[in-house]
Amino acid sequence: MKILVTGGCGFIGTNFIYYMLGTYPDVEIVNLDKLTYAGNRANMAPLEQSPMGTRHTFVRADIADPVAVRAILADHKPDAVVNFAAESHVDRSIHDPAPFVTTNVMGVQTLLTAAMEANIERFVHISTDEVYGSLTPEDPAFTEDNHLRPNSPYSASKASADLFVRAFWKTYGFPAVVTRCSNNYGPWQFPEKLIPLMIKLAEEGQPLPIYGDGMQVRDWIFVTDHCRGVDMALRNGRPGAIYNFGGNAEKPNIDVVHSILAAMGRPETLVTHVKDRPGHDRRYAMNYSLAHRELGFEPLYDFERGLRETLDWYAANREWRDKVASGEYRTFMDAWYGER
């Protein structure tokens, strides 16, 4: 199978490409990425230096550019498309929602249109639990039937994309599947997200900024479990279906940070509470029984094992982290936390 993976130089896309090429000797990947601040071409270097590298082709392009997307589909003739490409950081979406609309909404519509014209028969669109909005501590976990109640410009853009996928299925019969997953963590995650950011700051002995009381609850899934779920949806997903994936690890942010500090032997006094993020959701939790029933999905990592592997990976890949955490990223983070 030849798969066009978009956003393959970002966190989850990179893990997915390594997972698929490592698992299936007959899979070929065309990796389409715009290489924004979050995309790292260098993530593919170890792959390209290995025998699997012959089954990977990189193309720099924007999913919102219809001419480029059509040309790539015509040149490479993939059997399937898996769309990870997105602007993905909530804080950035609060600062400036415009790129979120351009990539996450218009980009997805462009990709869907081009893929339909190219008669692609399997299309998986990667979405998030954040489209459902926020839960109270008493609420049951989200199912695929929950209303969409996005609260940030990021989640609003992701929910809009999900609705376009639904419309393409209902209107044109285009066989797309949506997967919605909880918070991922693991190797290759850009250090603006909670876990790698806290690892980096703890290592440097800097204050760890926690929004508000830190009691925002998230469900955490190790990225390889998510990649396995996406592969299941790609191979066996029902056209038009939506599948939730979760990690069975609901935790308040402050507990996650304490676990990181404990594992790294750093003091809890490094924690610094900062003004809460506007519109900050209190709790997300995923009911993935549909994915379990129809696809056989079940997360294999518990949080302790996943965190240990993540810490080991960051310790072994400091050079990567320091390289990506410079330049434009540094400027945004300094300005953002400087205001808090």
Please choose, out of 31-39, 162-170, 272-280, 297-305, the segment that lies near ligand NAD by the rule CB under 6 A. 31-39
CA distance 139 to 132: 12
Using rule CB under 6 A, residue 4 touches ligand NAD: no
Using rule CB under 6 A, residue 150 touches ligand NAD: no
Q: For ligand NAD, which residue of 56, 122, 158, 200 counts as binding (CB under 6 A)?
A: 158
Using rule CB under 6 A, residue 9 touches ligand NAD: yes
- Give the gyration radius of the chain's Cα atoms: 19
Give the bridge partners for 31, in sequence order: 5, 58
Min separation Cβ 60 and ligand NAD, Å: 9
Which is closer to ligand NAD, CB of 44 or CB of 266?
44
Using rule CB under 6 A, residue 6 touches ligand NAD: yes
Identify whether the C-beta of residue 59 lies closer than 8 Å to the C-beta of residue 8: no
Which is closer to ligand NAD, CB of 87 or CB of 210?
87
Which is closer to ligand NAD, CB of 106 or CB of 264?
106
Q: For ligand NAD, which residue of 85, 176, 178, 260 counts as binding (CB under 6 A)?
A: 85
Q: Encoding tokens for residue 12?
A: 């989850």
Identify whether the C-beta of residue 167 lies closer than 8 Å to the C-beta of residue 269: no
Using rule CB under 6 A, residue 10 touches ligand NAD: yes
For 101-143, the three-class secondary structure string (H helix, E strand, C coil) is HHHHHHHHHHHHHHHHHCCCCEEEEEEEHHHHCCCCCCCCCEC
Q: How large is the angle between the packed helices 253-264 and 303-316, nearest 10 degrees?
A: 50
Could you identify the residue written with the tokens 């218009």?
106
Which is closer to ligand NAD, CB of 39 or CB of 133?
39
Give the contacts of 334 (CB within 8 A, at least 6 positions apart).
none
Catalytic choice (154, 243, 284, 314): 154
Give the contacts of 316 (CB within 8 A, at least 6 positions apart).
none
| Binding positions for ligand NAD, rule: CB under 6 A | 6-7, 9-13, 33-36, 38-39, 62-64, 84-88, 103, 107, 126, 128, 158, 181, 183-184, 190
- Catalytically active residues, by annotation: 129-130, 154
